[in-house]
Structure 1
Amino acid sequence: MTTLPQETDVLVIGAGPAGLGAATILAKSARVLVVDRESTAGGIPRHCGHYPFGLREFRRLMKGPDYARALVARAVEAGVQIATRVNVVGLEPGPRVTVTSDAGVTTIDAKIVLIATGVRESSRAQRLIGGEKPGGIIPTGALQSMVYLEGRRPFRRPVILGTELVSFSAIMTCRHAGIKPVAMIEQNAQPTARWPAALYPQIKGVPLYLSTTIRAIEGRERVERVVVDGPAGTRVIETDGVIVTGMFRPEATLFDGSHLEKDRATGGPVIDAFGRCSDPAYFAAGNLLRPVETAGWSWAEGFAVARSITAALAGSLPQDSQHSVTLKGDALSWVVPQRFGRVGETAHRRFQLRVNRPVKGRLSVRAAGVEYSSIRIDSRPERRITVPLPPHAAPVEIVLEET
Structure 2
Amino acid sequence: MSSLRGPTTYDLEPPRHPSLKINSKEPFNAEPPLSALVASYITPEEFFYKRNHGPIPVLENPDTFLLEIGGLVPHSQYLSLEFIRKLHKHSVTATLQCAGNRRTAMSEKRAVKGVGWGAAAIGNAIWSGARLSDVLELVGIPQNTAATLNGGKHVEFVSVDVCKEEKGGPYKASIPLMQATNREADVLLAYEMNGKELNRDHGFPLRVVVPGVIGARSVKWLRAIYVLAEECQGFFMQRDYKMFPPSVDWDNVDWPTRRPLMDFPVQCTICSPEEGTSLKPRSKVTVRGYAVSGGGRGIERVDVSIDGGHTWLEANRSQLQQRPYISDDDGKRDKWAWVLWDLSVELSPPMDIIVKAIDSSANVQPENVETIWNLRGVLNNSWHRIHIEASHRKEIQSNL
- Whether the TM-score (by the shorter chain) exceeds 0.5 is no
Band the TM-score falls in, shorter-chain normalisation: under 0.3
Q: With a CA cutoff of 8 Å and minimum separation of 6, indicate the structure with the bigger relative contact order.
A: 2
